[in-house]
Amino acid sequence: MTTQALTYQKQHNGVAIITINDAPLNRMTLAFINDLETLIEQIAEDDEVRAFVITAQGTDNFSVGMNLKELQTGVSAAGGIDAFFDQRVKLISRIETMGKPSVVTLFGYCLGGGLELPLGCTFRLAAQEGAQIGLPEMDLGTTPAWGGSARLAKCIGRNHALDMILRGKKISGPHALHIGLVNEVWPMEELKERAIALAEELAAQPRLAVKAMLEALHDAEDKTLDELLLAERAGVHLTMGTPDATEGIMAFLEKRKPVFNQ
C-alpha cells in the first residue's frame, strides 16, 4: 500500500512497516493523519500482523511534526479545534492500547507530533548521532496538543518533561536514552534495520501473552499493586491451556526453542 502520505509494507513474518512518505521533512500532514488512522484500524484487525514499525522516508528527519500551513484548513474541516486535536490524541491512544507492540525510529528532527506519535509506541529507538528530539511548541507561543506533555511526563518524569518543554529543548539520542525517553540508540545506518529486527523478535513471541502484558502494564505507574496483580492474573487465565502455552512448556521440556503463533 502506498499513498501520497505514507507507505505500508506487510512482511511474511508477522511484521508490518509504516513509512512517512514526505522526505526530507516528513511532515504529519492532514492526509498522513487520515491515512494512518485508517491503517492502524487495519493493523488492529489483521491477525497476521503481530508487531509493527513506524519509520520515515530517507535519513534526514523522522518528522518535523504537523504542517502548520494546514492548521486552519484542518480545524475548519474537523468542525473546531477540539475535534481536530482529538483525532490525533485518539489515534495515538489507539496505537498505545491496541494490544500489538510497536517500534518507532527517531532520527534527525523529531519535533511536536514527531515526538508525540512516538510517545504512544511501545519501543522507541533513536539514532546515535544527529537526532533532535523535542516539543518546541513554546517557540510558537502555545503548548503540546497531541498528548505530548502528558505522555512525556509519564515517560521521563515531571522535572525532565518541564525542562524539555518550557525551555524548548531538542535533545540527542544518547541524552534521550539517559533520561529514559528511548529504549536503545544505534548508528543511523543501522537504526531502521534494528527496529525491524526488534519487531520481528516481538512478533515471534506468543501473541496472546504479549497482548495480556501490554494491557496489564498500560499506565502501570498509576495503578496499585493489587490492580497490577489482578491484571497479571487475567493474563494467566487468558493464556493457560492455549496452543502457545502448550508449545512453550513442551519446548522447555524438550530443550528446544519454542515456535509460537502457529
pLDDT in tens, 31-87: 999 999 999 999 999 999 999 999 999 999 999 999 999 999 999 999 999 999 999
Kindly indicate the confidence band of residue 27, based on its pLDDT and cuts at 50, 70 and 90.
Answer: very high
Q: What is the mean pLDDT of the chain?
A: 96
**Above 80 in pLDDT, residue 185?**
yes
pLDDT in tens, 211-223: 999 999 999 989 9
pLDDT in tens, 121-176: 999 999 999 999 999 999 999 999 999 999 999 999 999 999 999 999 999 999 99
Task: Determine the Cα–Cα distance for residues 201 and 101; give it in Å rounded to an integer.
Answer: 11
- From the candidates 45, 116, 189, 201, give the one annotated as an active-site residue: 116
- Give residue 156's pLDDT: 97
Task: Determine the Cα–Cα distance for residues 241 and 237; give it in Å rounded to an integer.
Answer: 9
**Above 90 in pLDDT, residue 3?**
no
- Give residue 48's pLDDT: 96
- The C-alpha R_g of the chain, in whole angstroms, comes to 19
* 6-203, CATH topology level: 2-enoyl-CoA Hydratase; Chain A, domain 1 (3.90.226)
Is 137 among the residues known to form the active site? Answer: yes
Q: Which of 43, 57, 54, 56 lies closest to 14, judged by CA? A: 43
- Give residue 262's pLDDT: 77
Whole-number percent of the chain with pLDDT over 70: 100
Kindly indicate the confidence band of residue 184, based on its pLDDT and cuts at 50, 70 and 90.
Answer: very high
As a whole number, mean pLDDT of residues 173-181 equals 98
Reading the block at residue 244, the C-alpha cell is: 502457545
Q: Is the bond preceding residue 136 a cis peptide, omega within 30 degrees? A: no
Q: What is the pTM of this model?
A: 0.94
- From the candidates 70, 137, 184, 215, give the one annotated as an active-site residue: 137
